[in-house]
Amino acid sequence: MTASASAEPTHTLVRLDAPFTDQKPGTSGLRKSSRQFEQPHYLESFVEAVFRTLPGVQGGTLVLGGDGRYGNARAIDIILRMGAAHGLSKVIVTTAGILSTPAASNLIRKRQAIGGIILSASHNPGGAEGDFGVKVNGANGGPTPASFTDAVFECTKTLEQYAIVEARTPSLDAPGKHSIGAMDVEVIDGVDDFVELMQELFDFDRIRDLIRSDFPLAFDAMHAVTGPYARRLLEGLLGAPAGSVRHGTPLENFGGGHPDPNLTYAHELAELLLDGDEYRFGAACDGDGDRNMILGQRCFVNPSDSLAVLTANATVAPAYANGLAGVARSMPTSAAVDVVAKELGIDCFETPTGWKFFGNLLDAGKITLCGEESFGTGSNHVREKDGLWAVLFWLQILAERRCSVADIMTEHWKRFGRHYYSRHDYEAVASEAAHGLYDRLESMLPDLVGQAFAGRTISAADNFSYTDPVDGSVTTGQGLRILLDDGSRVVLRLSGTGTKGATIRIYLESYVPSSGDLNQDPQTALAGMITAINDLAELEQRTGMDKPTVIT
């Protein structure tokens, strides 16, 4: 521990020539290119609006850290100095500024902070030519609701000045207690509290027995935030051999990679598991550690199925031994978990895309587990999705069942039937073309009912809207749904996290009961629907792309 105090710093009010008009947060915070964030006063403008809007700033404690990408250190310096100018009593910041999103959520809750600022553009590439982002979480540890982000956006549009102090900010090289004027700065190791929480949730002895029993595993941290966490957990506490954690050192540009754990961007790991027999288990997490991909020997676990498997096997983990209150999934996520929830006799909620919609359900104790098809799974232990939590949960199940990942999937489908599922993304489509395609399809929806589609009949078609069962708030326009008479469906929505042009996401799902053919390739099982939506939405013609950028 080191301690240092700076003399009373100089407060400065910096005037903006003109307010920024483009600081509207998307699905997950304000996400822009690093270059945009480097414009003079750009970050400061957004942070000023956050400090003016977040309740309890005066005298409050804030958690601060990020995924280590380019811009992390500069942003921490600015936010610390602006926090001091706005009267925060304390900022808890992490060594090297490294803090995963779920670990931040835990710290906010544990330390009763007013919220946290997480510097990350999640799974988007980093570096000077990549993306940067600022996410603001509230006192419950979860992403702030739209009412907050809308208010921040409104504030930025007329902002005239921001407050900052001139001071040297403390070194983040080691834990220690410092101050900037009247504000305390506590530098802590961002891994400790998270590891402690995981040890409360899972039976580490059992997992260690599994890992030591000829169970080679590969975890890919993708040179992003989870490296230090995974090394401590998997190689340190759980006895996996050194080297089990790959790409474990966080780098500012993620080693030039795209830190999104899917079959396209984590292909190195995918090839190790799907084309070889060296490893029994594989997993990867994204830039800020909230996403996960689970692989077994020659087996890919679809994230929607992963949520269903965790739900069906939840009681093997000490944290969930007494059963689950309920579960939730985002609308585009497959209904695999619904079938399990039905059998367990628990509620299953369908929310719009984005983790923030799970917050109320978790806070109200209506759900214990939740997840999204976009490689996100989590529980009531924090208010974010949690990549390493999902990895440990899978290891706990494997430790109990002592079979392969593929066996778990086969048995699951035999019991519950299989939801064939795939998402096709068309990235960086010209914005006008994407919106034109979306608007056209939306206008066609009322007339689609009763029409033929991929050998079935369309039974309903709408734009999904959600009424929050806890606070009654209504969220509209959450994705175009084409529902078929056999329970299959296609969903089309535009991404709210992309930074280049527009991204069209098409979600395809078709259910086969346990008596049906459970062993098809999803692309084959869904082929008819893929062709039908491509024709109906004029995908190729309007995007100029003859195939998706990413298929998961």
Alpha-carbon distances of 258 from 123, 248, 286, 346, 516, rounded to whole Å: 7, 15, 9, 38, 37
Q: How far is the CB of 292 from ligand G1P (least distance, A)?
A: 12
**CA 105, 110, 111, 112 torsion: positive or negative?**
positive
Alpha-carbon distances of 254 from 94, 177, 225, 535, rounded to whole Å: 19, 30, 9, 38
**At 378, which helix (H) or strand (E)?**
strand 376-379
Rounded Cα distance, 430 and 494, in Å: 12
Out of 23, 28, 72, 297, the residue judged to bind ligand G1P by CB under 6 A: 28
- Does residue 122 interact with Zn ion by CB under 5 A? yes
Rounded Cα distance, 540 and 521, in Å: 23
| Binding residues with ligand G1P: total (CB under 6 A) | 15
Nearest residue to Zn ion, scored by beta-carbon proximity: 122
- Does residue 124 interact with ligand G1P by CB under 6 A? no
Partner touching 313 among Zn ion, ligand G1P, none, CB below 5 to 8 Å by kind = none
Give 40's contacts (C-beta < 8 A, 6+ positions apart): none
Q: Mask: binding to ligand G1P, 313-352, rule CB under 6 A, as x and -? A: -----------------x----------------------
Partner touching 33 among Zn ion, ligand G1P, none, CB below 5 to 8 Å by kind = none
Partner touching 359 among Zn ion, ligand G1P, none, CB below 5 to 8 Å by kind = none
- Applying CB under 5 A, the span of 72-80, 121-129, 465-473, 544-552 interacting with Zn ion comes to 121-129
Partner touching 354 among ligand G1P, Zn ion, none, CB below 5 to 8 Å by kind = ligand G1P
Grouping H, G, I as helix, E, B as strand and the rest as coil, residue 123 is coil
Q: Give the largest CA-CA distance in the chain.
A: 75
- Does residue 505 interact with ligand G1P by CB under 6 A? yes
Catalytic residue among 45, 100, 122, 244: 122
**At 434, which helix (H) or strand (E)?**
helix 431-448
Q: Report the DSSP pairing between strands 217-220 and 245-246.
A: parallel
- Applying CB under 6 A, the span of 275-283, 305-313, 370-378, 519-527 interacting with ligand G1P comes to 370-378
The single-letter DSSP state of residue 234 is I
- Applying CB under 5 A, the span of 240-248, 290-298, 432-440, 533-541 interacting with Zn ion comes to 290-298
- Applying CB under 5 A, the span of 30-38, 118-126, 146-154, 217-225 interacting with Zn ion comes to 118-126
Out of 302, 495, 499, 543, the residue judged to bind ligand G1P by CB under 6 A: 495
**Angle between helix 387-401 and 192-201 (nearest 10):** 30
Q: How far is the CB of 537 from Zn ion (least distance, A)?
A: 28
Rounded Cα distance, 107 and 141, in Å: 8
- Applying CB under 5 A, the span of 114-122, 389-397, 483-491, 523-531 interacting with Zn ion comes to 114-122
- From the list 86, 248, 279, 65, the residue with the least C-alpha distance to 165 is 86
Site residues (CB under 5 A) for Zn ion, limited to 206-265 = none
Q: Are 500 and 26 in contact (CB under 8 A)?
A: no
Q: Are 137 and 382 in contact (CB under 8 A)?
A: no
In DSSP terms, 511 is beta-bridged to: 419
Nearer to Zn ion, 374 or 488 (CB): 374
| Total residues found in the chain within this entry | 552
Would you call 122 a catalytic residue per the annotation? Answer: yes
- Does residue 288 interact with Zn ion by CB under 5 A? yes
- Does residue 131 interact with Zn ion by CB under 5 A? no
Partner touching 288 among Zn ion, ligand G1P, none, CB below 5 to 8 Å by kind = Zn ion
Rounded Cα distance, 135 and 228, in Å: 21
Characterise 522 by phi-psi region: left (phi > 0), alpha (psi -120 to 50), beta (else). alpha
Nearer to ligand G1P, 57 or 331 (CB): 331
Task: Label residue 78 exposed, middle or buried (CB < 10 Å: 0-12, 13-18, 19+).
Answer: middle
* Helix, strand, coil % in the chain, rounded to nearest 5: 35, 25, 40
Out of 45, 95, 100, 122, the residue judged to bind ligand G1P by CB under 6 A: 122
Q: Mask: binding to Zn ion, 170-199, rule CB under 5 A, as x and -? A: ------------------------------
Rounded Cα distance, 508 and 517, in Å: 18
- Applying CB under 5 A, the span of 241-249, 283-291, 358-366, 490-498 interacting with Zn ion comes to 283-291
Q: How far is the CB of 102 from Zn ion (least distance, A)?
A: 9
- Does residue 372 interact with ligand G1P by CB under 6 A? yes
Binding site for ligand G1P (CB under 6 A): 27-28, 122, 330, 353-355, 372, 374, 376, 495-498, 505
Tell me which residues touch Zn ion (CB under 5 A): 122, 286, 288, 290-291
Catalytic residue positions, numbered: 122
